[in-house]
Amino acid sequence: MVQEEAVNDLLHHLDTHKSMGPDGIHPRVLRELVEELAKPLSIIYQQSWLTGEVPDDWRLASVMPIYKKGQKEDLGNYRPVSLTLVPGKIMEQFILSVLTRQM
């Protein structure tokens, strides 16, 4: 069972210095609207947990090349970073905490 309090806690602990996902919603906005978003997100997470399906939009990712070291002209000196939606990351954190408690 996905508790609204657990989602509320995860939203309160969002890192506001992280970048926004492909949806354009910054983590700071989600953190400031925690009281309004905790219940609807907990319903979505609960439904997803029961059906085993993730909303299609949460599967989208924006892959960006990040420079590592060496010559910038060499493509081998970049690593891919996948930017995903913040609500999807919160759901991943929730699932991880449940699995960790079970073990």
What pLDDT was estimated at residue 20?
A: 82
How many domains in the chain?
1
In a domain, 35, yes or no: yes
Question: 3-state DSSP call for residue 3?
Answer: coil
Q: List the one residue out of 59, 48, 64 whose CA is nearest residue 85.
A: 59
Domain of residue 50: give its range. Answer: 4-58+85-102
In a domain, 94, yes or no: yes
Question: pLDDT tens digits, residue range 37-69?
Answer: 999 999 999 999 899 888 888 888 888 899 999
> Is pTM beyond 0.85 here?
no
Tell me the torsion sign for CA atoms 75, 79, 84, 88: positive
Q: Looking up tokens 């299609």, which residue turns up? A: 56
Question: pLDDT tens digits, residue range 76-94?
Answer: 999 998 888 888 888 888 8
